[in-house]
Amino acid sequence: MEQLTPLGLIISLFLFFPIATSLPTSGRPRTYIIHMDISAMPGAFSSHHDWYMSTLSSLSSPDGFSPLHLYTYNHVMDGFSAVLSQAHLDQLHELSGHLATYPETFGHLHTTRAPTFLGLKKHSGLWPAGGFGEDMIIGVLDSGIWPESESFNDEGLPPVPTRWRGACETGTEFNASYCNRKLIGARSFSKGMQQEKQNISKTNDYDSPRDFLGHGSHTSSIAAGSSAVAAEYFGYAKGKAIGMAPKARIAMYKVLFFDESYDAAATDVLAGLDQAIEDGVDVLSLSLGFIETPFDENPIAIGAFAALKKGIFVSCSAGNNGPHAYTILNGAPWITTVGAGTIDREFAAHVTFGDGELTVTGKSVYPENLFVSDIPIYFGHGNRSKELCNSLDPKEVAGKYIFCDFDSSGQTNAYAQIYEMDTAGAAGAIFSSSEGPFFRPTDFFKPFVLVNPKYGDLLKHYIINSKNATVSIRFQTTLLGTKPAPQVAYFSSRGPDRKSPWILKPDILAPGVDILAAWVPNRGFAPIDDDDYLLTDYALESGTSMSCPHAAGIATLLKAAHRDWSSAAIRSAMMTTAEVFDNANGRIIDMTTGVAGTPLDFGAGHINPNKAMDPGLVYDIEIQDYINYLCGLNYTSKQIRTITGMRQFNCDSATLDLNYPSFIILLNNTNTTSTTFQRELTNVAEGSSVYRAVVRAPSGMKAVVQPETITFAGKYSKAKFQLTVEIDVGVGSIPESDYFGNYGFLSWYEVNGKHQVTSPIVSAFAP
C-alpha cells in the first residue's frame, strides 16, 4: 500500500471522510452487543459473567455454528458482546433477561506552539495551579502508542499513583517493560475487529498496543506529552514539544486497527472504555467517532455516560465533515465536543519572481532545505484547462515550475490535477488558491507552494508579460504570531446536532491545524519522489482528532486544580471563559468563507485555559438532569436504561431545557419563535458576590433575563434565572446557508469584581 499512496494522503482521507457502518454479508453469523437486565439474573449465579456464559451455552445451534463470546462489560453497560447466528438471536430475544441487541458498527478516526498560543506558562496560571497534571491519568482510545518516543519519557516524574489498577500488555513488538512512570498502561482490544474483518494486517499494523499509524502517538503526546526539547518537522516548527498536561500519566487503549482502512469496532471501543473505567483514569480522550445514531445505539455515548457516573471527564472530536451544517459527531450532552481551530503559526516559502519584480510569501511544508533559483515558470494562459493544471503537455512544462490558477471548482479535483502534474515532469508548482480539504503540499512529490488568491492577478500579469519569466523559492520558513488566529478550520464539523439539536454543539474550539506532535518513525511519512519517503519522529497533522486531546489535557489540569468539580462544571468553565475574538481583535473567522463564524462553527469560542481556571460561576448538571433530557427527547424506558445503565429512574421532570452553558433556539418551518430557558448558576469563587446580566443581541433577536441581578452568599451557593428569547429573522435576512438564524451573547458580570461568565445564544433552522 505504501508504495502506491503517500501516507500523508492516507491520513487525510480518514481524517476527512465521513464514517460508514459496515454491512456484513447476509446470512452469516454477526457480532452483536447484547444489553441484559441484571435484575433478572437468577440467584444461582455468583457473577453476571457466569450468567452471560450460561445464557450463551443454552442457545441451540441448528445451523452448526456455536455462539462465540467476545467481551463481558462491567462498567459501560450490563451485558456482553458475542458472535451469533440468526437462530441464536431469535432465541435470545425470547429470554426474560434480554433487554436490547445492536449489531456491530465501525467508527473511524477523525505541539511546539499550541501551549504558548493558549497562554500556558511555567510559573503562573493553570499549569502550576494544576501541578502540570502530575497526579492525573488520561486514558486515550486510539491506534496505539510508540513508547520509545521522547514525548513519553518519564524523567522527573514521581511514582505511579497508587490508585492505578491498569496494566501493560505484551503483544507484537510490545512488552510490559515499555511502560514507565509516564506511559503507565497500554492495552489492545481487537476481538470485534478480528471477528468482522477476519484479521489484523501484519504489514500495516501490530496486534498489540504498539502504534503503526502514528495517530495514537500524536494525540497522546498532545494531551500529556513530556517535554521534548529538539522537536521539529524537517526544519519547520522547531522548538520544545510539550503536552497540555505534561506531568499527567497516559494509558493507551488501542481500539483502531488496519484492515483496508483504520477502523474501530463498537464492541472493542466499549471494551476499551470499560477497561479504562476499571483501571481508574481521570479523563478520557477519544479522537474517533461513529455515525450519529440515537444515543442508545452509539458505543461512545453509552460508555461516556458510564464514565460520567464515575466522575471521569470525556473529551471527543467533533468530526471532520465541515464546513457543512448538521455534521457534528459525538453530540451527546454529557460529552465535551471539540471543534478545530488554527494557531498563530504558519509554514511558509518565500517566492521571488524574476529579479525581484514581485515577492510574495506562500504556504508550504516541503520537507527539504531547498532553495530554487531562477527556474523558468509556465502558465497555460488562454487555455482554462491548462491554467487549472488539468491537462499539461510534458514537453511544455518539463523542468519548469507550473503556475496553477485554481478556483473553487479546481480544488475539488486537486489530487488528480497534481498527479497529472507529476507525470508531466514539472519541477514543482505554485498554486493561487485558498487551502481546501484535499490540498496539502506535503502529500505530493514535488515542492509546491500555495499563495493567497489576492496575489493571483499580479502573478499572472508578471508571467504573461515577461519574455523569460523565472521564479526563485526558499523553503523551510516558520512564521510565528500570524494574524488572524484562531480561525475555524474548514474541515471542522458544524452544528446543529441532528440527534440532539436542543444542545448547541460543538462546545468549544481548540487547536487542530498543523499541530506538531509525536509520530511513529518506522515508516516513510513525507514523500519527496516516487520511491523515497522521509522518516520523522514528529509530524504535523490537522483534524478535530488534534483538538480533542488539547481539551482533554486542559480538562486534566482543571480537574487537578479543582478536585471537587464535576465534569459538567469543568466543561462550563471552559465554555463561559472561551474567546470569541481572535488576535486581531475581530470575531473568530470561518476560514472557509473568510468572514466571522457563528456559534454553530465555534461553539462557545476558543478555549482559554488560564481563564477557565477561575470562571466565577458554573452551570452544573446532575445525572438526573441528563435523564430528564433523555425523557424530553421521548426516549423509551428501555432506551434510557440502555444509555444510563440505571434501573431506577422516572420521567416526571422531562424537559429539553438542560442546564447547559449555551442556548440554542430552533426554528421549525418558521422565521419567528419564542423560547424561555430556566438555568441555575453555582458560585465556585471564594466569598459572596453579586452578578449583573448583560445581553448583546442582534437585529431580529430580543432576549430578556429575569432577574437581571443575582446574589451568591458564598462559595457553592446557587441562584436561578430565566432567559426569554424572541426570534424574528425575517424572510430577507435568511442567509444562503439555510441553517443559521442569528446569534448573540448573555454575559453575567461580577459587580465590583473580575469575573465575566458568557454564553452564546444562537437560533438555527432544525435539520
Tell me the range of 49-63, 101-115, 274-288, 390-404 where mean pLDDT is highest: 274-288
Residues 6+ apart with CB under 8 A from 392: 380, 386, 402, 420, 421, 424, 426
The residue type of 172 is T
If you ran DSSP here, which 8-state letter would residue 661 be given?
A: S
Is 637 tagged catalytic? Answer: no
Separation of alpha carbons 569 and 645, rounded Å: 23
Residue with the three cell numbers 503536552: 243
- Mean pLDDT in residue range 296-305: 98
* Statement: residue 442 has pLDDT above 50: no
Per-residue pLDDT of 659-690, as tens digits, reads 999 999 999 777 889 999 999 999 999 999 99
Is 545 tagged catalytic? Answer: yes
Query: How high is the pLDDT of residue 441?
Result: 43
Separation of alpha carbons 529 and 417, rounded Å: 17
Give the cell for residue 695. Answer: 445581553
92 and 98 Cβ atoms separated by less than 8 Å: yes
If you ran DSSP here, which 8-state letter would residue 226 be given?
A: P
Q: How many C-beta neighbours within 10 Å does residue 461 have?
A: 12
Out of 48, 85, 142, 220, which one is annotated catalytic? 142
Q: Cis omega (within 30 of 0) on the bond before 42? A: no
Alpha helical stretches, state H, 297-344: 299-309
CATH number for 347-470 (one of 1.10.760.10, 3.50.30.30, 3.30.930.10, 3.30.565.10): it is 3.50.30.30
Per-residue pLDDT of 612-636, as tens digits, reads 999 999 999 999 999 999 999 999 9
114-344+488-612 has CATH 3.40.50.200 classification: yes
136-145, 253-262, 679-688, range with the lowest pLDDT: 253-262
Give the cell for residue 332. Answer: 451527546
Q: Cis omega (within 30 of 0) on the bond before 496? A: yes
- Mean pLDDT in residue range 395-416: 68
User: Domain residues of the chain, as ranges?
Assistant: 30-103, 114-344+488-612, 347-470, 622-655, 658-765
Q: Which H, E and C letters describe 572-598, residue by residue?
A: HHHHHCCECECCCCCECEECCCCEECC
Task: Tell me the pTM.
Answer: 0.91
Between helix 623-632 and helix 637-644 the angle, nearest 10°, is 150
Per-residue pLDDT of 192-251, as tens digits, reads 999 877 678 888 899 999 999 999 999 999 999 999 878 888 877 888 789 999 999 999
Query: How high is the pLDDT of residue 64?
Result: 86
Out of 190, 545, 567, 763, which one is annotated catalytic? 545
The residue type of 143 is S
If you ran DSSP here, which 8-state letter would residue 600 be given?
A: H
Query: How high is the pLDDT of residue 435?
Result: 54
Please report which confidence band the pLDDT of residue 731 belongs to, taking 50, 70 and 90 as the band edges.
low
747 and 757 Cβ atoms separated by less than 8 Å: yes
592 and 495 Cβ atoms separated by less than 8 Å: no
Nearest to 4 by CA among 470, 361, 527: 527
* Statement: residue 443 has pLDDT above 50: no
Is 393 tagged catalytic? Answer: no
C-alpha separations of 81 from 51, 78, 277, 427, 602 in Å: 13, 11, 18, 55, 37
Separation of alpha carbons 153 and 145, rounded Å: 13
Separation of alpha carbons 624 and 487, rounded Å: 37
Nearest to 78 by CA among 36, 111, 23, 140: 36
- Mean pLDDT in residue range 365-371: 82
Query: How high is the pLDDT of residue 21?
Result: 32
C-alpha separations of 545 from 190, 411, 509, 550 in Å: 21, 23, 12, 9
Give the cell for residue 327. Answer: 455534521
Residues 6+ apart with CB under 8 A from 50: none
Percent of the chain with pLDDT over 90: 70
- Mean pLDDT in residue range 506-535: 85
Query: How high is the pLDDT of residue 13?
Result: 28
Which strand (E) or helix (H) includes residue 711?
Answer: strand 709-712
CATH number for 658-765 (one of 3.40.350.10, 2.60.40.2310, 3.20.20.190, 2.30.30.700): it is 2.60.40.2310
If you average pLDDT over every residue of the chain, what do you get?
88
CA 168: distance to chain centroid? Answer: 26
Pick the more confident residue, 330 or 531: 330
457 and 358 Cβ atoms separated by less than 8 Å: no
Separation of alpha carbons 185 and 410, rounded Å: 47
Query: How high is the pLDDT of residue 671?
Result: 81
Q: How many C-beta neighbours within 10 Å does residue 649 have?
A: 16
Which strand (E) or helix (H) includes residue 317?
Answer: strand 313-317
Residue with the three cell numbers 499512496: 5
Out of 35, 98, 215, 755, which one is annotated catalytic? 215
**Rounded to the nearest 10 degrees, how much is the dihedral formed by the CA atoms of 245, 249, 251, 256?**
30
Please report which confidence band the pLDDT of residue 423 belongs to, taking 50, 70 and 90 as the band edges.
low
Query: How high is the pLDDT of residue 410?
Result: 42
Residue with the three cell numbers 490537522: 542
Please report which confidence band the pLDDT of residue 738 belongs to, taking 50, 70 and 90 as the band edges.
low
Q: How many C-beta neighbours within 10 Å does residue 370 have?
A: 16
Pick the more confident residue, 202 or 168: 168
Pick the more confident residue, 15 or 682: 682
CA 252: distance to chain centroid? Answer: 17
- Mean pLDDT in residue range 597-613: 97
